[in-house]
Structure 1
Amino acid sequence: MADRLMLLDSASLYFRAFYGVPDTVRAPDGRPVNAARGFLDMIARLVTRFEPTHLVACWDDDWRPQWRVDLIPSYKAHRVVETVSSGPDVEEVPDPLEAQIPVIRDALDALGIPIVGAAEHEADDVIGTLATRATMPVDIVTGDRDLFQLVDDDRDVRVVYTARGMSNLAVVDDDHLVAAYGVHAAQYADYATLRGDSSDGLPGVAGVGEKTAATLLRAHGDIAGITAAAQAGEGMTPAQRKKVLAAADYLAVAPTVVEVVRTLDLPEVDARILPLAEDLAARTAAVADRWALGTSMTRAVEALGPA
C-alpha cells in the first residue's frame, strides 16, 4: 500500500459529531459522549474508505490568534464568550461538548493517533504546515472551505469535505474548485477574502459576492492584480472599481488573516498507523470502558488494523 497522510481538522469533526449524533449514551460520571463516539465512528469510516498509512489529529491550540484579530478585529468575534488576558479567548462551545474534549483526547491517545497543535495558531495552520512538508499524498478532512486553498494536484493534496455529511463526502481537487467556484486552488484564499465569510467575521468587499469575486480573479489573477487594475481604472466596471477601492484598507490586511500558515516550526511526529500493540489494545479497551465508548471504539480499533 502506498503511503498516504490523513490530517483531521479535529474541531470541525467533533462539532459535527456533537450536533449529528443523538445524546443517548452517557459515561459513568454522567457526561454525554455523543461527540466522542461520533468522532470515533468518523475515524473508522474515513480510515476504511481512504486507507491512510499515516494519521494526525490537528488541534486548535488557539482558535482565534491575536495576530489575526489585530489585523481584523471582527475575526470570529461573534463566537467569543470570554476574553482572557493571559491566553486565548474562550470560544462559545456548548457545555455538553466542552465536557467531552478530554474524552476525545483520551481516546485518540489510546489509539496512538498523535494530536498536534501550535501556540498562537489554529488547526488550519497546523494542517497547512504538515501538508506542505509532507513527502506523500495528503487527504485533509474538514468541513471548513478555507482549507480548499491547500489543494495541490501536483502534490496530490486533496480535501475530503464533510459539510454534506459522512455519507456524502466530497473529494475536492482543483477541477472540483473550478467547477464549483470558478477559481483554482491557488486563488481560493483571495476568493474567500473578496467574498467574505460571516461565520469567521470576515466582512469581505462590500457588494462583491461569489460570482463577482470569481470574475475578478479570472480577469486579474489575484488580489494584487485586482487592486492594480482598480487603481488604473482598467479591466472592470466602474461599480466594481468603486467597491475595490473602497475596500483598500481591508484588502491590505485580510489576505494575511485568510491565508493558512504553512511554515510553523512543528516537531517531527510519527504519524504511522501501526497494528495496536498488546498494551495499547488493552488501553483502548480500558478507555472505552471508562467513557462508555462501546462499539465506536471497537470500530475505530478494527479500522486502524489491530494486531
Structure 2
Amino acid sequence: MMAMTDPGKSPLLLLDGASLWFRAYYALPESITAPDGRPVNAVRGFIDMVAALMTRTEPSRLAVCLDLNWRPQFRVDAIPSYKAHRVAEAAPGTEESEEVPDSLTPQVDMIMDVLQAAGIATAGADGLEADDVLGTLAARERNDPVVVVSGDRDLLQVAADEPVQVRVLYVGRGLAKAEMFGPAEVAAKYGVPLHRAGDAYAELALLRGDSSDGLPGVKGVGEKTASTLMLRYGSVAELRAAALDPSSDMAQGVRAKLNAASDYLDAALPVVRVVTDADVHLSRSDVIPAAPADSERLNQLAVELGVVNAVDRLVSALAANGG
C-alpha cells in the first residue's frame, strides 16, 4: 500500500461530505434508527467513516467540505445537461433541488449538529460544489500534505506532488476497498501523461464524457481512445491543434470526431475542471481539537440519536489526533 503522505508529517484531511453520507446511507439499512424511530443509518455510517479516516490518516487538521450549490449556474450555462438527471421534481416557481431520499435529508442536519458539537470544521463556497471547495483548499495549501477523500473520480484531478503532496483516497467502492492516488497512480491507471496527470485526468473525462454528471463527451471517443490520444498529444489543446492541422498524421475519423465536437470542447473544459480559487468559508479552525467543542451537546446527540458507540469512536479519534 502506498504511504498516505510524507513520513513524519500530519496531513490536512479534506472530506467530501455529501459523497460520504450518501455512501453511508446506502451502505447501512434504514432499520438503524434512533430511540424515537427516526432513521440514523447515514448518521452512524458517516460518523464511523470520519473516525476511521482519522485513525487511518492521522491528520492534525480536518475539514468536511459541503455543496452550497450542487449544480453551479456557470456549469449549467455551459452544458445544460450537467447533472440534469439528478434534479428532483419541484413545484412551479420553486428552486430546483437535487433528488435525495426522503429519509436522508433530515439526517444531513443531524450530521451537521454532530460535527458542530464535536468541533470539526465544515467548509463551503457560495454558489459552488464541494469539489470546488476541495480543489481550492488542496491547491492553496503550502504547509502540510493533503489527503482528499471522495467517491467522485472527478477529484483525481487534484492529485499532485508540488508544492505539497496531495493524495486522493477514492472510496467509490467503499472504505474497505479505498484506493490512494497520487499523480503516478492516476497516470498508471487511466493512461494519461505523468507530468500533468491531474490536469490530464480532467481532460480525459472531458473527452470520454461522464454519464453521472450528464457530460456527453466526444461522440465515438471512449476511455481507451481518450487515453491513447492524451498519451500521444499530451493535452486537449495539442490534440485539437493537430485535428485542425491538415499536415498532421491524425486519423481522419478521429479528426472528424474532434472537429465536430469543437463547441462542446470549448464549453465543457471549465465544467470538468474544479475551481481552485474559490472564496472558501470555514465554520471554525480546521485544527482538530483534542476534545469535543461542546461535550455536553455531543453526548446529548449521541443518546438522542442512538449513536453512542459511533460518537465514542469519534471522540477517541479526536483525542488521538487533536492538538
Q: TM-score per shorter chain, which class? A: over 0.9
CA distance in 2 between partners of 1:87 and 1:110 (Å): 32
Q: CA RMSD in A?
A: 1.8
Aligned position for 2:5: none
Structure 1 match to 2:285: 270
Q: Which amino acid aligns with 2:222?
A: G
Q: 1:3 matched to which residue of 2?
A: 10
Q: Which range is displaced more, 84-93 or 137-146?
A: 84-93
Structure 2 length-normalised TM? 0.90
* AA partner of residue 255 (structure 1): L
Letter in 2 for 1:204: G
Alignment partner of 1:150 out of 141, 155, 158: 158
Structure 2: which amino acid aligns with 1:143?
G
Alignment correspondent of 2:3: none
Task: Find the aligned partners of 1:200 and 1:44 in 2 and give their Cα distance.
Answer: 29
Change (3 A) 1:200 1:115: same
**Inter-partner Cα distance in structure 1 for 2:45 and 2:95:** 27
**Residues 202 and 83 (structure 1), Cα distance of their counterparts in 2 relative to 1, 3 Å cut:** farther
Q: Which amino acid aligns with 2:258?
A: V
Partner Cα distance (1:165, 1:110) in 2:
27
Amino acid at match of 1:276: A
Contact map agreement 2:159 2:167 (CA 8 A) in 1: yes
| Residue 180 (structure 1) aligned to one of 189, 192, 210 | 189
Unmatched tracts of structure 1, length 5 or more: none
Give, in angstroms, the shift of residue 83 of structure 1: 5.7
Bigger shift: 43-52 or 281-290?
Answer: 281-290
Would you say the 8 A contact 1:194–1:205 is kept in 2?
Answer: yes
Match of 1:213 in 2: 226
**Unpaired runs of at least 5, structure 2:** 1-7
User: Is the CA contact 1:219–1:235 (under 8 Å) kept in the aligned structure 2?
Assistant: no
How far 1:257 moved relative to its partner? 0.5
Q: How many residues align?
A: 306
Question: Which amino acid letter does the alignment assign opposite residue 309 of structure 2?
Answer: T
The Cα shift of 1:44 comes to 1.0
User: 1:28 deviation in Å?
Assistant: 4.0
> Within 2, Cα distance between the matches of 1:84 and 1:120?
22
Alignment of 1:121-270 (within 5 A): 121-135=128-142, 136-154=144-162, 155-183=164-192, 184-233=197-246, 234-267=248-281, 269-270=284-285
Out of 104, 108, 131, which is 2:111 matched to? 104
Deviation track 1:246-277 (CA, whole Å, cap 9, x = no partner) reads 10000001010010000012246510112115
Deviation at 1:178, TM superposition (A): 1.6
- What do the CA deviations read for 1:82-130 (whole angstroms, capped 9, x no partner)? 4689886211101011121101101111111111111110000001111
Q: Which letter does structure 2 place at the counterpart of 1:124?
A: D
For 2:224 and 2:95, locate their aligned partners in 1 and report how far apart those are by CA, in whole Å: 35
1:13 aligns with 2:26: no
- Give the stretch that moved more between structures: 42-51 or 84-93: 84-93
**Residue aligned with 2:294, SS:** helix
| Structure 1 counterpart of 2:76, from 69, 86, 110 | 69
- Render the CA deviation track for 1:196-235: whole Å, top value 9, x for unaligned: 0000000000110111111111122211111111011324
Amino acid at match of 2:175: M
Where in structure 2 are the equivalents of 1:6-85 lying within 5 Å? 6-82=13-89
Over 6 Å off, 4+ runs: 84-87
Instruction: Spell out, residue by residue over 1:38-95, the C-alpha distance to the aligned partner (whole angstroms, 9 max, x if none).
Output: 0000011100011011000000010001111000000000000146898862111010
CA contact (8 A) 1:31 1:99 kept: no
**Structure-1 separation of matches of 2:91 and 2:240:** 37
2 CA distance for matches of 1:10 and 1:130? 14
Instruction: Name the amino acid aligned to 2:118.
Output: L
| Match status 1:117 vs 2:124 | yes
User: What is the CA distance between 1:280 and its match in structure 2?
Assistant: 2.2
Question: Could you tell me which amino acid in structure 1 is paired with residue 29 of structure 2?
Answer: P
CA contact 1:181–1:214 (8 Å) conserved in 2:
yes
Identity over aligned pairs, percent: 48
- The question of 1:291 aligning with 2:305 is answered yes
